[in-house]
Amino acid sequence: MTENLTEKADDIAQLAKGGRTNILGFVIRLAGRIPFLFIAGRSYGPEIVGRFALAVLVIELAALLATLGLKRGLAQALSTTSRPDTHVVADAMVVALFASLVGSVLLGMFPQVMFPNSQVTGLEWLLPSIVFALAWSEVAFSALAYRHNVGASVTARSIVEPWTITSAALILSYLSPRDGLIIAYVVATFAMLIAAMVPLLKMYGLPRNWRPDPLRLWRMARINAPLAGADALEWGSRNIDRFILGLLFSPAIVGIYYVAQQVASPAQRLKTTFDPILGPVVTRSLAAGDTESVAKQVRQVAFWVMAVQAAIAIAIGVTSDGVMGLLGQGFVAGSATLCILLTAEVLASPGAIAEGGLVYIARNRNLMISTAMLCFQVVMSFVFVIVIREMGYPVVYQAVGPALALALSLLVGSIVKTWLLSRLLKRRMSALRWGMLAAMAASAGVGVLISKLPEWLQLTAGIPLMLVAYFAVLLKLAFGPEDKALFRKMPKEQQIAIDDVR
């Protein structure tokens, strides 16, 4: 009994440790992403940013498919085999490499897929070469997270990649104004790969006495295919809006939307960076048949993510005009889109975290739900655009349609996935707490008061004041002992968790 309680405490402690690291990574990533957006907006302009946004969209999709679900499936592969971990990771790398080569060849043959609303005349051919680098980075981060090394991912994603692309974009804005963003993205991606592979080799070492087995590699790819589909569909739900905009509007409109999306993206990544640390914890609990722990772990992470995302949504949403204006006056028109996207992230969190359990116990049903929600989102995107256009609103308002469709589909999908996991585990899955609603109300109240101030004062003083009000109420009314484990060292975390379970 004592051993079981200790294991549960360890699980919460590991989630808390991952939570601390990821929240720190979020802050660092935001600090690195804003200078890049500032340089991209001010030095390159909406049209070039829009072309870049569509190209990155296709490249990242190809890389995601190339991982063949190993971003989350690797944890299960490592926990359910007696083979050396280094051999399993090596298999995953080979599978991702072969899939990446297929994607790179196809994109090299049909580059117009990356640029549906503009001509291919510059260094666009460089982009397909980085598919494998993105795929290998994801596999490496998953392998590191399996051994509870989340710091390497935070370092690579929050420091190495954003600051490399920022520095390169600044220098290349003078040397290659047309292709500078593309070159900077390629350089930053390879820098992130190096930052992923070095700690991977230190932690796992070289796969000695390993031989690739085609049947074993095929089996790994086949088993993880449903995960690959779920990953692609979740990614598609967050990016198909950009592609639809590329089909309906000019690159400049896509550029404005992309900048709003990137400002909101750290909130989304806060959730996705929990996937590698949540996966191993959930798979161990499932292997032991402990559905109570699975439900508890999912609820815990969902609350942490929702709590932080709600704070971000209110603080940035209230000051959205000023935030977008910092990146260039041409981007202020995207402030409404930014507010909708931030709200969408909060609505998506319960379902996205619930999916962390569904992918291991109901892969095919989860895939069906994701497919249905993506189709619903695509249809509603066109419906909203057409309705807003028929109402006589200008193009910049029509471009809000895909963001509205995204928010609606994420809300519906979140409700369905949380309900399904609750039904399968026969446990309560809701992560919503009344204290969080009170914190949101307090922060919004401060936002109303500071909204009358000049924009510069809203950004410098208003945002911190809203965050202070939010977290003061949240800590007082919504945080329990296990939530406070986020701020404590391991031994105390374990004792609190054990006492709580008792």
Predicted local confidence at residue 307, as pLDDT: 86
Predicted local confidence at residue 88, as pLDDT: 85
- Tokens for 286, please give them: 């499932």
E-strand ranges in 271-314 read: none
Enter the pTM of the model: 0.73
Predicted local confidence at residue 440, as pLDDT: 92
Q: What are phi and psi of 290, to 5 degrees?
A: -95, 80
Predicted local confidence at residue 8, as pLDDT: 53
DSSP 220-233: HHHHTHHHHHHHHH
What count of Cα atoms within 13 Å lies in the side-chain half-sphere of residue 420? Answer: 26
pLDDT digits (tens, 9 = 90+) for 399-454: 899 999 999 999 999 999 989 988 888 888 777 788 889 999 999 999 888 888 88
Confidence grade of residue 496 (pLDDT, cut at 50, 70, 90): very low
Predicted local confidence at residue 494, as pLDDT: 39
Confidence grade of residue 192 (pLDDT, cut at 50, 70, 90): very high
Cα dist from 114 to 117, 169, 322, 427, whole Å: 9, 20, 31, 44
Residue type, 317: G
Confidence grade of residue 23 (pLDDT, cut at 50, 70, 90): low
Confidence grade of residue 500 (pLDDT, cut at 50, 70, 90): very low
What count of Cα atoms within 13 Å lies in the side-chain half-sphere of residue 228? Answer: 21
Predicted local confidence at residue 10, as pLDDT: 56
Cα dist from 394 to 324, 333, 387, 389, 481, whole Å: 19, 11, 12, 7, 51
Domain boundaries, the chain: 2-433+478-501
Share of the chain above pLDDT 70, in %: 84
